[in-house]
Homo-oligomer: A and B are copies of this chain.
Amino acid sequence: MKKIISLIVIVIVCFINSANAQNYKLDSAAFRQISNHILTNYDCYKNLHDLCKQIGHRLTGSPQAAKAVEWGKETLEKTGCDKVYLQEVMVPHWVRGQEQAYLLGNTGLKEPITISSLGNAVGTGESGVQAELVLVNNMEELNRLKPDQIKGKIVFFNYKFNQTNVNTFDSYGPCVYYRWGAPSEASRRGARAVVIRSVSSAYDNKPHTGSMRYDPKYPAIPAVAISNLDADHLEELIGNKKKVSMFIRTTCQMLDDVKSYNVIGEITGSELPGEIICFGGHLDSWDIGEGAHDDGAGVVQAIEVIRVFKKLGIRPKRTIRAVLFMNEENGLKGALKYADLAEQNKENHILAIESDAGGDVPLGFSMTMEPSQRGRVTQWKKLFEEYGVTNFEREGGGADIGPLHRKFNTPMMELMPNSQRYFDVHHSANDVFENVHRRELCLGAIAMSHMVYLVSLYGL
Most buried by B among A3, A166, A168, A421: A166
CA distance A36 to B166 in the complex (A): 9
Question: Are A40 and B3 neighbours in the complex by a CB distance under 8 Å?
Answer: no
Candidates B35, B40, B363, B437; contact of A388 at CB < 8 Å: B363
Residues of B within 8 A of A390 (CB): 390-391
Residue-wise interface mask of A (25-50) relative to B, using a CB-CB cutoff of 8 A (1 in contact, 0 not): 00000000001100110000000000
Interface size bracket, A side: 20 to 34
Interface string of A400-436 (1 = CB under 8 A from B): 0000000000000000001011000000000000000
The stretch that binds B, out of A7-15, A126-134, A369-377, is A7-15
Residues of A in contact with B (beta carbons under 8 Å apart): 3, 7, 10-11, 14, 35-36, 39-40, 163-164, 166-168, 201, 203, 361, 363, 386-388, 390-391, 418, 420-421, 437-440, 443
Given A418-B361, A420-B439, verify A166-B35 contact (CB < 8 Å): yes
How distant is A449 from chain B, measured CB to nearest CB, in Å? 14
- Given the known interface contacts A7-B10, A10-B7, A11-B7, the answer about A201 and B439 at a Cβ–Cβ threshold of 8 Å is yes
Q: Which of B40, B387, B420 contacts A166 (CB 8 A)?
A: B387
A39 to B10: give the CA distance in the assembly, Å. Answer: 38
The distance in angstroms between the C-alpha atoms of A234 and B114, with both chains bound, is 46
* Docked pose: A440 CA to B202 CA in angstroms: 12
Asked if B163 and A39 sit within 8 Å, CB to CB, the answer is: yes
Complex Cα distance, B386 from A421, in Å, reads: 17
Nearest 9 pairs between A and B by C-beta?
A: A36-B164, A420-B439, A39-B163, A420-B440, A39-B164, A361-B418, A361-B420, A40-B163, A166-B387
Instruction: Check A164–B361 contact: CB distance below 8 A.
Output: no
Q: Tell whether, in the assembled complex, residue A439 and residue B163 are in contact, meaning their CB atoms are under 8 Å apart.
A: yes
Q: Is the CB of A35 within 8 A of B164?
A: yes
Once the chains bind, are A3 and B11 in contact (CB under 8 Å)?
yes
Task: Pick 25 A–B contacts, CB within 8 A, sort by A.
Answer: A3-B11, A7-B7, A7-B11, A10-B10, A35-B164, A36-B164, A39-B163, A40-B164, A163-B439, A166-B386, A166-B443, A167-B388, A201-B439, A361-B361, A361-B418, A361-B420, A363-B363, A363-B388, A388-B418, A390-B390, A390-B391, A420-B437, A420-B443, A421-B437, A421-B440
Known A166-B388, A361-B418, A418-B418; judge A14-B3 contact (CB<8 A): yes
Which among A11, A168, A439 has the highest number of chain B CB atoms within 10 Å? Answer: A439
Residues of B within 8 A of A363 (CB): 363, 388
Which residue among A7, A201, A388, A390 has the maximum number of chain B CB atoms within 10 Å of its CB?
Answer: A388
* Chain B residues with CB under 8 A of A391: 390
- Bound together, the chains give a CA A7 to CA B11 distance in angstroms of 8
Output the least CB separation between A43 and chain B (Å). Answer: 14
Q: Other CB < 8 Å A-B pairs besides A39-B163, A361-B418, A361-B420, 20 of them?
A: A3-B14, A7-B7, A7-B10, A10-B10, A35-B164, A36-B164, A40-B164, A163-B439, A166-B387, A166-B388, A166-B443, A203-B438, A363-B363, A388-B418, A390-B391, A418-B418, A420-B437, A421-B437, A421-B439, A421-B440
A82 to B14 alpha-carbon distance, docked (Å): 52
- Closest-CB distance, A232 to chain B (whole angstroms): 14
Q: In whole Å, how far is A428's beta carbon from the nearest beta carbon of chain B?
A: 16
Measured in the bound complex, the distance between the Cα atoms of B391 and A386 in whole Å is: 10
Residues of chain B contacted by A163 (CB below 8 angstroms): 39-40, 439
> In the bound complex, what is the Cα–Cα distance between A390 and B418 (angstroms)?
13
Residue of B nearest to A165 (CB): B39
Q: How far apart sit A202 and B208, CA to CA, in the bound complex (Å)?
A: 30
Q: What is the minimal beta-carbon distance from A186 to any residue of chain B, in angstroms?
A: 28
Which B residues touch A421, using CB under 8 A? 437, 439-440
How many whole Å from A454's CB to the nearest CB in chain B?
Answer: 18
Whose C-beta in chain B lies nearest to the C-beta of A2?
A: B14
A11: B residues at CB distance < 8 A: 3, 7
A35 / chain B contacts, CB cutoff of 8 Å = 164, 166
Q: What CA separation (Å) do A389 and B380 show in the bound complex?
A: 21
Chain B residue contacts of A388, Cβ below 8 A: 166-167, 363, 418
- Give CA–CA (A164, B14) in the complex, Å: 30
CA distance A292 to B107 in the complex (A): 43
For A3, A40, A418, the residue with the greatest tally of chain B CB atoms inside 10 Å of its CB is A418
User: Separation in Å of the A57 CB from the closest CB of chain B?
Assistant: 24
